[in-house]
Every structure is written in C-alpha cells, then in structure tokens.
Structure 1
C-alpha cells in the first residue's frame, strides 16, 4: 500500500493493502478503495464511494457518493479473469454511477477519457470505450463493447446497444434506444432512435465555421436522398468533399463496424 503523505483520508474509510493513493487525494467517510486501485493526484472520493478491481483513475477526477467503480462485469461469460478499468483526468462521476471492468473476450479494458461527466445513476458496461468530453445524462445505460468518440452527449434514460459506435460530436436525445452506429455530428431521437439530422447546436457551440456547417448539411442530404446504398453514398462524398468534418463522417462510415448504421429517417 502506498498513500502519499498529503492525502486526506477519513478514519472510517477502508483502504486495502496494495492500493496507491496519490498526492492531494481526498477519501471521504465510509469509502472503500480496493487493493488494485491506483488514484493519481487530487482525486476526490465523497462518502460511501466504492472503487474496486484493477482500476486506474486520473488526476482531479471526482467521484460522488454511492458510485461503484471497477466492479466485475455483468456478463455471464466472465470467469474471474483479470481485467481493467482506466478513467482519465478531470472526469466527474456523480451519485450511484456504476462502471465495470473489461472482459477477456472484449480486450480486457473499459476506458473513459478526460473531462467527461457521468450524471447520476448512469451505467458504463464492460469493454466500453469512451473518449473525451463526453456527457452521459442521468440513468442512461452504455452497453458492453460500445465505442463513443469525443464530444458526444447521451440523453437521460437512453440506452446504447452493445457493439454500437457513436461518432464524434453526435447527440442522442432523451429516452432513445440506439441499436446501430451513429455518424459523427448526428442527431438521434425517438423510442427506437432514428437519425433525424445533425447536432447543429453542438457544432455552433464548438465554433465550427459556417461554411463547414453548410458542407455538413449538404452531406447529410446526400446521405439521406442520394442514389445507391448508404455506404456507396458515403464513398462518393469522400471523393467529392474537401471539408474536414464531412471527411470525418466518411471515414466513420467506411470504418470497421460490428453493427449496421442508423440512416436518415
């Protein structure tokens, strides 16, 4: 066990032998930190937070009360093999969030990047890969093996089906079930999610140039109404566009996928 002298640990907290607690960490009342947990500097765990498994948490991440981080996967194929969870820097994990470690069949790693916000009651399953600046709203569920790229928002009470990819800058509306891949900057909403447009609000907030937004609008129309199959339309887009943002959509559609795509409704 390695606990930095500057760490502030409440007397009622349990720190198992082998845990690594970095400088400036704050561990609140009745927290449980497992033997294979590593906390970087200035990680804060509020009362009753539980962190277990082979879990690494980056600096300045904050974990609120009753979150359970690094427990074993909810996967019947899991047989006790060693697997890991990595969480980046400055990520906020609110009350009652659950995040599981990976499985051997999925690569053995669940990953969450930097500057993410996981709101109360949401779940991140085994082998999911979340990039940076992602917001998962209250009670949303991210299934196993899901890949979510940068700057995505997943609305409250939504579900992302296993093996689905969600492209950069997309937004998922509340109470939406997403069963297929979502293109970058896409807008998905409805009980069974349909691709209803582009995340224009998110693009404007990020300061994307008007000319690029115009190119994205035109690209979406071609994907929605052009001739041929969806991937054929995307391939033609790649041959015709000089927009970085449109090319991101093309690369995503032409990339390897374990699911089909949500296409414009």
Structure 2
C-alpha cells in the first residue's frame, strides 16, 4: 500500500509525518511517501457486511518552533470482502509472567471459569470472563488482587492512547457502578475471577486489558490491598470479607494505606500483565 502526502505551502516538516507507527519511505520538500503492508504500522482491520476496511492515522508531530500545529488525519482503505474470507479461529492463550519466586497467569475464560474461552469476540453487553492466578511455589500463602485494569486499543499502554478504566484506585471495580461487572466469589486465595460486561469502547477493533496483579499477605488487607465492586442495592462491597466493606469507602475518593510499614518489610509482589487482544462488537 502506498500513501503520499503533498504540501504545496512548504510549511510542514516532512520528516515529522508518521503513518501509525511507521516512518516515511521517502521524503522531499513538498512530499512524503509511505510504502507499507497492512500488517505494518498498527493498521486496524474491521469487517462490516461485505466490506473489509483497514484504518490508521496519518500523524504530524510538529516541532516547538513550527507554525504548523500537530494534527492527525484518518486513513481508510476499503475493499470488497473476499467471498472466501472468514474470521481467524481464536486460539485461547494464557499469558505468563514470572517475578522472583512467583509465576503469574492471566487469560480469558469461558462463562463459568471452567476452561479457556473459545472466542475473543464479545457482543456489546455480554460478559467477559477474566481469570488471574499466581503459582506460589514455596512462598507463604498469598491473596491475589487486581489493583488496576485499563482497557486500551494498544498492546502497550502509553499516555494519549484511547483507554477505558475498569479497575482503578487500588482495587475498585469502577466499571461496576455503570454495568453488571463484578468480582466472582473466590475458589482459591491465589486466584481472582473478574466478570466484565462488554463495554462500548473501540467497537470492532482489537482491545487489550492492561492489569496490575498484586499477590499479598492475606492478613494485610487495607484501603490499598482489596477487591471491591459496587452493588446497586448495598453500595461498595469487599469481595473477601463483607464485614470489612468499610475498606471500600475510599472508592469514592482516593485510596491510601492507613498503615505505616517498614519499607524493607516484604508483604507481597506486583506484576503488570496484558489480557487480549479481544474484540467488542455492536
């Protein structure tokens, strides 16, 4: 695929153009040319009816002393959907992350969490089942939390990327205030099951859920080590012990630890992980 940008005013710096994540193939004072494939540059594929679209953005980053402000223009390449084209079969895969003597796992599950999901496509409003687990090896028993989960359209979460908050504020499932999302009852201390109602975000495009997993001392619950979801009838509830729902009160403000601890004292470990890609459809 070739894309050419022409500027007759000679105001833009041609070297500052990008097509998605790709640099120009050739540059001249008046023209910028890209020569790429649809597997490059973070092109997004969307199939609608009989149409196959590849979309991206032509980005101009500008420079501090430039009169031309940064801008972005959509790039859409449309084709008739091939008659023999079918969506790729989803091959369920769990991501594994090791840190010190702990091994973390995270992945998409079927509705009752008895096995991996057979699809990564979710209609809007359906439930997305996410399981995270930690292999404790010879470690003391640990309780696993999802401290934060943010949905994004990119496999690497970075400032400026489109995003949708699911869990924030040290374990508050904020999405549960506007949906049927919830933490499921625990079966093991070392696992946590999350049901997320498919939300209206990047419909038809790949979505990645970026999470921070925390394995912690089961006796060390506080405002920053918790799993809270919102019950429409009762307000914020603590997954592991409803008698201590008060730990979730800070979900409406900012959650900070009330306990002062020696920083050298080890209570657990944290690891960032990514679930996906998955696709939410209208």
Scaled by the length of structure 1, what TM-score is found?
0.25
Structure 1 or 2: more helix by fraction? 1
Higher relative CO (Cα under 8 Å, sequence separation at least 6) belongs to 2
TM-score (norm 2): 0.24
